[in-house]
Structure 1
Amino acid sequence: MGKAPISCMIRESGRPISGCRMASALDISTKPESVGRGVQAIEVGGKLLAAMVAAGAPAMLRDIALAAGLTPAQAHAYLRSFRTIGLVEQDGDTGRYALGPFALQLGMTRLKSFDPLRMAGQVAITLSGELGLMVAILVWGTYGPTVVQVQEGTDQLHVNVRAGTVFTLSGTASGAVFAAFMKGRAAAEMLAAELQEGSRTQKIGPPAAPEDVAQTIRAVREQGYATTEGRPVPGVNAISAPVFDSTGQIQLALTLIGPAAALPLEAGNPFVLRLMEATRQLSQHLGWAGEVLPERSPLKRKTA
């Protein structure tokens, strides 16, 4: 037999075949099938720029060279050319190198031209095809977490999820993500009103008991995603994770929905890892360079 394909989340009793490497959610949507013959010098220079981005702060030549796998002499030649075009600048007092004004212009142009919902839609299609699950995209709307796109899975689910559907903050996995990570007062105020309204709500997902909400939000912040088991629909599970912009504000939630037998919820399972990989890459495309840390919201940007 030939080598197993990269994208091999083949369903067998609702679980991926073991031994398969999970593909990047953005492999299909952002990477060409063949890049052809490139310019090696540019690729080497790209390693230096990537090392500087990873450092997150001005760095010494030797440290940049080490991170990029080059000698200091090699790195210096590239950095000198980058300084000429404004990609890199050097502090005259400390000798440390940092990304320059042209790098900022490139980044801003990228952010202005990037459509997060379009790319998230492509990722939803990819995830649904690989995992065989329903994938929903939600944004913050006038009445709370609102579905803007649904990609159906292979299983026929009797759930009321379509574009325009509004979820509760405390009774759904998608809502819990917004409750945990959204900046400002809007989510907190809506959550308070939702808990007061209780079972009279017209949204999807009966609100949780007030005494359980704080614990749920803490757990979501600690692990970086939210889950619901058999709620609000018995026998149906959900896993939801946030996508952040360059400021650390949540822009959307990406949610897997499927039968309990096909969508396990235990930490570290392939479905959780796949979803977190997809949302992390989407966040990176939006300019976010942070990570989820325990007990912190908004998230803390990496500094090293």
Structure 2
Amino acid sequence: MNVEDSAETDREQGFVQTITVGYRLVQALEQGGRGQTLKAVAAAADMPSWKAYPYLVSLARMGIVVQNPDTLCYGLGPGAAMLGLSAISQADVLSLAPEKMQILQDQVQLPVYLSVLGNLGPTIVRKFDWDSQLLVTMKLGHVLPLMSSGTGAIFLSYLPLHQLTGIIRQETGRDPDLAAIEEIVTRTRRDGVAVSERAFDLAFCSVSAGIFDHEEHLVAAITILGIKGRTDLSLESRAAELVLDTTRDLSRTLGSST
């Protein structure tokens, strides 16, 4: 079979071989870091050097790959960086989160909420209710308190205080209690999640974790809600582990290294 026949067969199977081979080399460069020899790149991509070389030449012409003229070693080029930044800029937590939230809800069988910071405080913008577990559900647009909720603790812990001062004053009727805020921030950053034993009112509990973008800025929080005394949402609970896994996965999709 000649090259054209092979390419045609690959197209019929749903892909073009040249693209998949080139991508294997890009992945090898991504995982191996800058300054890799032709032999090392080819080995990482599981192909002979003679096959890898023309692909690397083509990728270099597009700026996806660069070659050091002195060492002749390869690395990812500015074209690869632009592709990565473009993918990150097109990622939207409001569109990415629901699928992950649905999976999380299926795992914990409890209500799951996504909140972002609004003018009045953390605001629920996506939700997956679980009616058989709770007698009430939170409405879209519901604003959660910064100082007395797990969701609020996430925003307090990862956003600059000056951005939240007005909201805290409106919420509490006084200036921020710096000692109380420091305690919340220390605990939340240490644990990675925020647990509340008095979510919404004394009958409920919750566990929350944050979602971060490529600049490591907090963009949203995911919260699981349960009934106090009937639901284990402690730091050691499976739910706490799952919500942290979910937010970390979403953060990585948005370009975070956390």
Give the shorter-chain TM-score range: 0.7 to 0.9
Paired residue type of 2:103: T
Larger radius of gyration: 2
Paired residue type of 1:90: Q
Gaps in structure 2 of 5+ consecutive residues: 1-12
Does residue 145 (structure 1) correspond to residue 122 (structure 2)? The answer is yes
Paired residue type of 2:144: F
Aligned to 2:191: 223
Higher relative contact order (CA 8 A, sep 6+): 1
Aligned to 2:68: 91
Superposed, which structure 2 residues align to 1:254-273 within 5 Å? Answer: 254-260=222-228, 261-267=230-236, 269-273=237-241
Deviations 1:28-86 (A, max 9, x none): xxxxxxxx76567755654543454456x634338964994658947963544432332
Aligned with 1:171 (options 141, 145, 148): 148
Contact 1:88 1:99 in 2 (8 A): yes
Aligned with 1:61 (options 25, 28, 37): 37
Aligned to 1:193: 169
CA RMSD between the two structures: 3.4
1:144 to partner: Cα distance: 1.4
Partners of 1:221 and 1:54 lie apart in 2 by 29
Superposed, which structure 2 residues align to 1:1-304 within 5 Å? Answer: 42-43=19-20, 45-54=22-31, 58-61=34-37, 65=41, 68=44, 70=46, 73=49, 77=53, 78-93=55-70, 97-159=74-136, 161-183=138-160, 185-187=162-164, 189-190=165-166, 193=169, 197=173, 211-260=179-228, 261-267=230-236, 269-288=237-256, 290-291=257-258
Task: Report percent identity of matched pairs.
Answer: 26
- C-alpha change, 1:136 and 1:106, in structure 2 (3 Å) is same
Deviations 1:69-107 (A, max 9, x none): 658947963544432332112333565543223223322
- Which shifted more, 158-167 or 141-150? 158-167
Paired residue type of 1:263: D
Paired residue type of 2:199: R
Partners of 1:67 and 1:256 lie apart in 2 by 45
Partners of 2:139 and 2:43 lie apart in 1 by 46
Deviations 1:119-177 (A, max 9, x none): 21222222223321101110111111111122102534245621111111121111111
- Which shifted more, 88-97 or 61-70? 61-70
| Segments ≥4 residues shifted beyond 6 Å | none
- C-alpha change, 1:110 and 1:169, in structure 2 (3 Å) is same
SS in 2 for 1:238: strand
- C-alpha change, 1:93 and 1:143, in structure 2 (3 Å) is farther
Partners of 1:74 and 1:215 lie apart in 2 by 60
Partners of 1:183 and 1:63 lie apart in 2 by 48
- TM-score, length of structure 1 as denominator length: 0.66
Contact 2:42 2:52 in 1 (8 A): no
- C-alpha change, 1:196 and 1:172, in structure 2 (3 Å) is closer
Paired residue type of 1:262: T
- TM-score, length of structure 2 as denominator length: 0.76
Deviations 1:194-244 (A, max 9, x none): 67527xxxxxxxx9x764431221121123221112434324221111111
Partners of 1:47 and 1:235 lie apart in 2 by 53
Paired residue type of 1:157: L
Contact 1:65 1:75 in 2 (8 A): no
- Which shifted more, 113-122 or 57-66? 57-66
Partners of 1:86 and 1:103 lie apart in 2 by 7
